[in-house]
Each structure stands twice: as C-alpha cells, then as structure tokens.
Amino acid sequence: MLKKLFGKSSAPQAVESAAKPEAEKSTTKQGVEKKDPKPRKPREKKPAKQEKPWSLDDYMVAPQEGKTRFHDLNLPMSLMRGIAELGYEYCSPIQAQTLPYTLDGYDAIGKAQTGTGKTAAFLITVITDLLNKPIDGARYIGEPRALVIAPTRELVQQIADDAKNLCKYTGLHVVSLIGGVDYDRQMKQLETQAVDIVVATPGRLMDFKERSQIYLDQVEIMVIDEADRMLDMGFIPQVKRIISHTPKKSQRQTLLFSATFTPDILNLSERWTHEPIRVEIEPERVAADTVEQIVYIVSADEKFGLLKKCLSGDKVESVIIFANRRDTTRKLHERLQKAGFKAGILSGDIPQNKRSRTLEDFKSGKLKVLVATDVAGRGIHIDGISHVVNYTLPEDPEDYVHRIGRTGRAGAEGVSISFACEDDAFMLPSIEELLGRKLNAVLPPEEMMG
Ligand code: AMP
C-alpha cells in the first residue's frame, strides 16, 4: 500500500548522474558536502524563529460534516503553523481528494486550474515528505530533494512565494530558478546552503543542470504543474530531459497537474507517473459564482471615460484590467497614468524584473490598478482583487472565465465589468455558452457616462 515507504531517501536509486567521482566530494564543517574543490563554507542553517510557543490551540477549526480540516491529515506542526498563518481553514476539494493519498506516497495526476488550491495541495505533500524523512547524513550543495517545474516565470514565482510562506517555520530552504533575472544571484542561493525545494521553469533549470550547478539525482518528489501549458509552449522535450536526470519513477513520487486531460497529456502522465491516483476538479466556473458579472454596452470611444468612472467607484480596492492585445494594453496603461491613476502593466514585452516588481507593488497595495494581457494575467494568484475589467472581451471564452476568476477568489465577493462595444458583442454568445447562462448586457448608468 505505501509504495514509497522504502523508495525515498533510503533505497538505492538508479540514476543517471549517480556516478559522482568520490574524489570530487568534500565535506564542510556543517556536514554539507559539495563538489567544488575550492572550500567554500556554507552558511549554517538557522532554525526557524519562534517568537512564542505555538500550538494547535492557536489554530482552532471546528470539524464540519463533509469537509476535511488540515488537522485531520497528521501534518507536521511547523507546517500547520504556516497553514494557520495563511488563514486556511478547510481543505479545498483538490486538497481533500489528493492529500490523503499523496501524503501516503502515491503519485497523482490532477485536472485542476488555478484557483482550486492545487498549489497548496502539492506543496503540503512536498513539505510533509521532506520533514517526515529528514536526512541525517551529509548533503550536497545544489542537490534538491524536491523539484517543482512550471511553464512561466510568474507561475514559478507564485509557487515559490507560496512555498516560502508554508515553509516559514520549517527551516526548509526554497530556491526559485527563472529566466530573465540575475543568474549569479540564483546561483548564490544554491551555493550558500543545502537546498530542499527547487521551483523552476524548464529552460533555466536546464541551464543550471548543464553547468553542473544543480544535480537532480536526489529528487525524492517531483511536481509538474500546468502540464498542458508546457505542451502548448513547446517545453515537453526539456521536461523529458529534466525527468531523465531524476531517479526512476518507481523511486520518486510524481505529481502532475494540468487544466485539461487531452490524450497527449494522459500519455505523458503515464510515462512519468507510477500507478497514480487521478483527481478531476471542475473548472473555475465555481469561482464565477461569487463574482457579480456586469456587461456594459458602450461604443469604442466611450470605453476610456467609462473606465475612469469605474475606477473611481467607492468599493474599488484593486483592479485588473484585461485587454486582448499588447499594444492596447500599453496604450491603456499610458492613458491611465496620464489621467493620474497609479497603474502597473503586465504583458509579455515587459522585462521580467519589472514584471516582478509590478506584481509585488500590486500585491502590497502600492498599485491599485494593473493592466494585463491574458497570457501575463493567467495564473496570477492574488487574493483581494475587488474588480476585474474586461476592456475588450476575449476571443477565447475560456479566457473570460480565467479573467473573472482573478476576483472572487477563495469565496470572497468580486465584481467583473465587461465593456461590450460592437466588436466585442460577437464574443458574448460563446462566453454565455461556456458559462451556461445569459449575461445581462445593459447601458451604463447615466452618471457614469460623459
Ligand atoms: P491555487 O489554485 O493554487 O492558485 O490557489 C488559489 C488561492 O487559494 C491561493 O490564493 C491560495 O492561497 C488559496 N488557498 C489554497 N488553499 C486554500 C484553502 N484550503 N483555504 C483557503 N484558501 C486557500
């Protein structure tokens, strides 16, 4: 039943890069071995700070019929504290359906989109696994025990942020590796102490692998997130190579998530996972139930004036404005700034470090307004977004669902306002078909016009 009981850190692992010459290894005072012949002293792992003794009394959640509490899963106390601090009470459906198995070592393939809590589902599995099987002996620099790969830099950063939050009291070291930002800085993070969890985009991870700055033969648990997007973006060959450097699938635990289960994805899942459990969570339509959807009929010329009025509303705390094209996004951003709004922009042509700063400023509330394209906006995990504006309606109805899913997250109320001019109106029927209901398109109230 517990298939990975012996397969994790204890069993000999048949791996490609196992043949490390003994002579290259050296051991530091802290017991962290490294392959670099130059002695460089790794920083001592600091124990997590404990200001006050924490216990489950600080995190009381009443049992509820049909719901799973994190308390019911026998998770390590340091992880429970992180979960409590994030304010989670009950498991989301994907968590409740996967955790009982993945915590037992089973592989899993999950059909789940962002907004379902899938990130915490796999991170809680990873963290519990690492904490329950501490490594007594020496560790090597650049040898993660857990590897998470995801297709985009934004997604990697969000996963790494979630991982750092959940790991806050565990002493586990999380490193993210993404393209477009300083290579050396990422390398230093790997060199200063043994790394437990690496979260990476496939390209940057392969750069590190090829320069022998990372070794994947000690990976006990591996997560492939948004496998369908990896496929769309042409990353599968890289992912295959990455996986070939990790232990055999019977000797690692593998969790794969994808928003769709196409035959291609199911084929890959079969190759990469070992007797997985399969969980399917219905798409974000669920989230859409907590979103009030308004559609205003406007002419193209009236859109900007109406947008300004919408942004000035009382209840507007933070807003993402979506447009279909990068140039529309850029122009809109410029006009908003000229009109005195503190607005940021997220689109593919903005450099990565600037995008990260913008996201941080938006998260912290420094920026109230964010203008984004679908690709850049997809997968943004920010709670507390009060409004989403569809400045243009998307051509793909799935994008509409994704967009409005940015608000009304985790049960909170949200408002989506769509501007439907003549061109946009063509998209409405297919969106309504996907939603399974009609959207009531109305003229904006008079005080919002002119
Ligand atoms: P994800 O699907 O991973 O993008 O998660 C969506 C959002 O739900 C994130 O902001 C998480 O912090 C939040 N979340 C995840 N699990 C829970 C939970 N059990 N209870 C409340 N919020 C959660």
Instruction: Quote the pLDDT of residue 381.
Output: 67
Instruction: Quote the pLDDT of residue 288.
Output: 60
pLDDT tens profile 176-197: 999 988 899 999 999 999 999 9
Spatial distance between the Cα atoms of 235 and 205, rounded to a whole number of angstroms: 12
Spatial distance between the Cα atoms of 303 and 448, rounded to a whole number of angstroms: 11
Which atom of ligand 1 is nearest to 162's Cα?
Answer: 12
308 alpha carbon – ligand 1 mean position (Å): 31
162 alpha carbon – ligand 1 mean position (Å): 9
Which atom of ligand 1 is nearest to 90's Cα?
Answer: 19
Task: Report the 3 state secondary structure along the chain.
Answer: CCCCCCCCCCCCCCCHHHCCCHHHCEECCCCEEECCCCCCCCCCCCCCCCCCCCCHHHCCCCCCCCCCEHHHHCCCHHHHHHHHHHCCCECCHHHHHHHHHHCCCCCEEEECCCCCCHHHHHHHHHHHHHHHCCCCCCEECCCCCEEEECCCHHHHHHHHHHHHHHCCCCCCCEEEECCCCCHHHHHHHHHHCCCCEEEECHHHHHHHHHCCCCCCCCCCEEEECCHHHHHHCCCHHHHHHHHHCCCCHHHCEEEEEECCCCHHHHHHHHHHCCCCEEEECCCCHHHHCCEEEEEEECCHHHHHHHHHHHHCCCCCCCEEEECCCHHHHHHHHHHHHHCCCCEEEECCCCCHHHHHHHHHHHHHCCCCEEEECHHHHCCCCCCCCCEEEECCCCCCHHHHHHHHCCCCHHHCCEEEEEEECHHHHCCHHHHHHHHCCCCCEECCCHHHCC
Neighbours of 331 (CB within 10 A): 14
Instruction: Quote the pLDDT of residue 95.
Output: 96
Q: How many residues does the chain have?
A: 450
Which atom of ligand 1 is nearest to 116's Cα?
Answer: 2
Instruction: Quote the pLDDT of residue 351.
Output: 75
95 alpha carbon – ligand 1 mean position (Å): 10
Instruction: Quote the pLDDT of residue 111.
Output: 92
Instruction: Quote the pLDDT of residue 286.
Output: 42
Q: Torsion angle of alpha carbons 184, 234, 246, 134, nearest 10°? A: 60
Spatial distance between the Cα atoms of 334 and 227, rounded to a whole number of angstroms: 35
Instruction: Quote the pLDDT of residue 367.
Output: 92
Residues of the chain with pLDDT under 50: 1-31, 33-34, 36-39, 284, 286-287
87 alpha carbon – ligand 1 mean position (Å): 10
What structural domains and CATH numbers belong to the chain? 66-281 (3.40.50.300), 284-448 (3.40.50.300)
Which atom of ligand 1 is nearest to 86's Cα?
Answer: 12
405 alpha carbon – ligand 1 mean position (Å): 12
Instruction: Quote the pLDDT of residue 190.
Output: 92
Instruction: Quote the pLDDT of residue 414.
Output: 86
Q: Which residues are near ligand 1 (CB < 6 Å)? A: 88, 91-92, 95, 114-120, 381, 383, 409-410
